[in-house]
Amino acid sequence: MIRWGLGVLLPAAIAAGPARAAEPGQTVISSDYGSLAVSAILQGWFAARFDGSYIDRDADGVVDDRDDAYANGHVDFTVDAARLVLKGNLLSPNLTYVFQGDAVVPGFLLDARMGFILPEDEGISTTISGGRFLPPFTLMLPRLSSRLETIRYPLYLFNTYGESAPARQPFAFPETIGRQVGLNVTQRLTPMFQIDVGVFNGFQHTLEAAGWADENDLKDLFARVQVQPVDDLLLAVDYWLGFPVSLDRAVDDDPATPADETHAASPFAVSATDPTWQNDTAHFLVVEAAFTAVDGLRVFGELAYSRQTLRTQDLGGGNPAETRADALGGWLHVGWTFEGLFAAGIDLELVARFDMLDPDINTPDNQMMRVTFGPQLFLEGLHSQIRLNYLANLSQTSRTPAEDFDDVRHELLVQLTVEL
């Protein structure tokens, strides 16, 4: 059955917390030096898409097949994940590690994290985690790809359509969305109250092959407060302060003289004699709620606000300019599980989710919505899954004068997952 407790689904348990003990059916290798549990995730999907809009995307006065938003991408078979997960402890049960790699991802490495648990009392502990991993930011971002509530991430976390998609976020690239290099401390003060604080390298414009080194000296800061008054109810507030390097930086170094670097005049240098590049600023505030007290019912939701200051060079006089965007996003998910509907160990879940995103509340005609629903079949819990999701993606566009959701794109996704 798939009646997971919130303890399994909580971001702290999946992302920044200690490595979980082996799950039923997993083989654990133990030695005098520690333990090792091996698991794998194989995931693929079939996607069928079509554009339901009559929009002149080429602005040539003619609406034809070339205006189709899914040109050459209507039907796809995709290998989404071929992951290997190693986890366990070293020397002491309190010193844990997690490694996760994916053959589908360039570079293979996803997570490489060490953690140390300082137990203090029953239900009270401090966990220090360091390395590259998913911070416990939001309900969905830290989840394994095989343990999302639907096939796709929420819209505001990972905007994959729209006129300016993908939206800039203080996270990593889409194939490693949200992964950061840094340090996180999880303080469980009582069995009901938990605080997370972290410092991370932050958003990277380019994926560094040598250890994902930072692109700037400023770090991203993160905090999360979680309250769980009863086992089946969770409330949390997240805050992220990011300082990504401005996309408009201009460096003119001479590779022949690395010890005598010169910098081109840039409006983002602090001064003519100080070539330190200024940074963009990103604030994210997220409120979370999860409710699973009614047998079979699962309700999750988030409301997010962001303020991003982008420092760019204006096209007129080449002077520095700041653009501030205030955004709102959120989602509400409802799922109902029929346990053992066809046979013991085979569960059917019906899901529906509504997503919304306004990337700039002060700019008209740019809102986006997504409606997702469909059946999801689970065989032996999470270990074998067949998901069918229909997605209606609706967005406003400046190509038409009315502020209605005239850009409509449909997706039908079938995802197969095996978790060993």
Quick check: is 14 in a domain? yes
Question: Tell me, what's the pLDDT at 152?
Answer: 87
Question: Looking at residue 103, which CATH number applies to its domain?
Answer: 2.40.160.10
Q: How far apart are the first and last CA of the chain?
A: 16
Quick check: is 340 in a domain? yes
Question: Tell me, what's the pLDDT at 199?
Answer: 92
Domain hosting residue 67, numbered range? 6-23+37-244+279-419
Q: Report the alpha-carbon distance of residue 415 to residue 388 in Å, rounded.
A: 7
Q: Is residue 68 within 8 Å of 75, Cβ to Cβ?
A: no
Query: Please, is 34 exposed, middle or buried when counting C-beta atoms within 10 Å of its C-beta (0-12, 13-18, 19+)?
Result: middle
Question: Tell me, what's the pLDDT at 7?
Answer: 44
- DSSP helix/strand/coil, 235: strand
The number of angstroms, rounded, from the C-alpha of 170 to the middle of its chain's C-alpha atoms is 10
Quick check: is 265 in a domain? no
Strand extents, DSSP E, 344-397: 346-358, 368-379, 384-395
Question: Tell me, what's the pLDDT at 62?
Answer: 79
Contacts of 17 (CB under 8 A, 6+ apart): 115, 127, 129, 136, 186
Domain count, the chain: 1
Quick check: is 119 in a domain? yes
Quick check: is 31 in a domain? no
Quick check: is 264 in a domain? no
Quick check: is 253 in a domain? no
Quick check: is 308 in a domain? yes
Contacts of 24 (CB under 8 A, 6+ apart): none
Q: Which amino acid is at 277?
A: W
Question: Tell me, what's the pLDDT at 262?
Answer: 39
Residues of the chain with confidence (pLDDT) below 70: 1-26, 158-177, 203-217, 244-279, 311-321, 401-403
Q: Which amino acid is at 317?
A: G
Question: Tell me, what's the pLDDT at 214?
Answer: 60
